[in-house]
């Protein structure tokens, strides 16, 4: 690589740790992103120190993801899983912990700060000014975009977040968007500086997520080899809309009664946030729809167990109301499983419509039943898309993402140094 590599990057992930299992609480694609890019930076000789909030007194001060990629747990507030709405009150304590960690070293210990999500951006803004290094920020989701596409009954993002995002966008030396769509949202909704905004797609670990033996995957999950399997993977929250899959499955059975003998709906994930708001809502919905016998709930899964779920499915549904990218869609396709997803956010980038999956505009249950049925009940078309899905996913990799991030860091450092000399 031609750019000037930083020695160390301070990565801020206040509200969720890359060591947490995606699919429950506040853990999701961002956790994967932070962990995978930090590991690949370390492999290039760039130390990545990830700061996250400690949620247990049993946690060690640090955990090493890989030599050179370290997670530091900062005591900020009670040792418990606070909701994101409670965390702004702990930003002062978290910032103090981050600054103290740097103060134990010689000046200039970190070359770049990379914050993930707006809460981390607030901390990164202060660290940038204290340390005299550029701030690179990844929003991952945007409050104004989420509030414009709320699920029925969902709670809007609070005004404090909107204000906080506006501040971070104005202060960041580089804004990293997952897609051109997100980049345009930053420009149009947040008045971001286009010269400081860069689009870098996330990746997928194609060494782990790759096509495999479907029969073996189904056997591992105790599923009949001849079943029609629809799957949802992710947090159980209204934003992700797993209810749409259940309602569409019930519609399919109503249309084709003989399908009841073969259909299985897998839901792999846990409640969002604290899990206290709607712990059994999907179970109750399945009973209401009369499909309890068709739905299997699995706890959140990672690693090879997650690969098994993807391989076992005929179709993976991603019915989210908003996704900045949609790593689940990419992981499923990398395993050779076509996807039906909502035409929102970054999903039209993650899914090659008509080749690796289908996109549905909106959440009309009849439209979702049509799309799911087109793939799940047409073996020839499904197999063609399965082959194309694996090929589409190969266009994305964490190595490419990391190389692009390092390039963005270099540009930010160069411009930051020029501005500092001009201000001197």
- Residue numbers in the known binding site for Mg(2+) are 310-311, 313, 337
User: Do 37 and 77 meet the contact criterion of CB atoms below 8 Å apart?
Assistant: no
Return the closest-CA partner of residue 112 out of 98, 131, 139, 91. 131
Binding residues: 15, 21-22, 26-31, 84, 117, 141, 161, 235, 240, 301, 310-311, 313, 323, 331, 337
Q: Which residues are annotated as a binding site for UDP-N-acetyl-alpha-D-glucosamine?
A: 21-22, 29, 235, 240, 301, 323, 331
Structure tokens belonging to residue 185: 């949202």
Q: Which residues are annotated as a binding site for 1D-myo-inositol 3-phosphate?
A: 15, 26-31, 84, 117, 141, 161
User: Which stretches of 182-224 are assigned E, i.e. beta strand?
Assistant: 197-199
Tokens representing 273? 């946030």
Rounded CA Rg of the chain:
22
> Is the Cα dihedral 403, 408, 409, 413 positive or negative?
positive
Cα–Cα distance list, 142 to 32, 329, 340 (Å):
18, 20, 23
**Containing H/E element for 309?**
helix 303-312
- What sign results for the dihedral spanned by CA atoms 179, 40, 172, 272? positive
Contacts of residue 65, defined as CB under 8 A and 6 or more positions apart, other chains included, come to 18, 19, 35, 38, 39, 42, 50, 71
């Amino acid at each position: 690589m031609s750019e000037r590599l930083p020695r160390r990057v301070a990565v801020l992930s206040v509200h969720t740790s890359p060591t947490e299992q995606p699919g429950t609480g506040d853990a999701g694609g961002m956790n994967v992103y932070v962990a995978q890019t930090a590991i690949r930076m370390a492999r290039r000789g760039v130390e990545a120190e990830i700061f996250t909030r400690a949620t247990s007194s049993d946690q060690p001060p640090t955990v090493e993801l890989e030599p050179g990629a370290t997670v530091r747990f900062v005591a900020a507030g009670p040792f418990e899983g606070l909701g994101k709405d409670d965390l702004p009150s702990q930003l002062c304590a978290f910032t103090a912990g981050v600054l103290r960690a740097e103060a134990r070293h010689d000046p200039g210990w970190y070359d770049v700060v990379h914050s993930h999500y707006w809460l981390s951006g607030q901390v990164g803004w202060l660290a940038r000014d204290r340390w005299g290094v550029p701030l690179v920020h990844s929003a991952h989701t945007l409050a104004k975009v989420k509030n414009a596409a709320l699920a029925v009954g969902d709670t809007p993002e609070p005004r404090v977040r909107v204000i906080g995002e506006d501040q971070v966008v104005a202060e960041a030396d580089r804004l990293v968007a997952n897609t051109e769509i997100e980049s345009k949202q930053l420009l149009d909704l947040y008045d971001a500086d286009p010269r400081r905004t860069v689009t870098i797609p996330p990746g997928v670990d194609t060494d782990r997520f790759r096509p495999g033996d479907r029969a073996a995957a189904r056997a591992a999950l105790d599923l009949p080899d001849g079943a029609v399997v629809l799957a949802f993977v992710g947090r159980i929250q209204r934003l992700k809309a797993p209810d749409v899959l259940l309602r569409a499955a019930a519609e399919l059975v109503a249309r084709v009664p003989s399908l009841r003998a073969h259909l299985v709906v897998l839901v792999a994930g846990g409640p969002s946030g604290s899990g206290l708001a709607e712990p059994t809502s999907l179970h109750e919905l399945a009973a209401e729809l009369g499909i309890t016998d068709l739905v299997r709930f699995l706890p959140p899964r990672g690693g090879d167990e997650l690969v098994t779920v993807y391989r076992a499915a005929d179709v993976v549904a991603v019915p989210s109301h908003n996704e900045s990218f949609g790593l689940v869609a990419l992981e499923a396709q990398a395993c050779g499983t076509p996807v039906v997803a909502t035409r929102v956010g970054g999903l039209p980038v993650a899914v090659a419509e008509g080749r690796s999956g289908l996109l549905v505009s909106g959440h009309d249950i009849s439209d979702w039943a049509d799309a799911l049925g087109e793939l799940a009940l047409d073996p020839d078309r499904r197999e063609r898309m399965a082959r194309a899905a694996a090929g589409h996913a190969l266009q994305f990799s964490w190595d490419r993402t990391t190389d692009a991030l390092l390039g963005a860091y270099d540009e930010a450092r160069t411009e930051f140094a020029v501005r500092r000399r001009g201000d001197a």
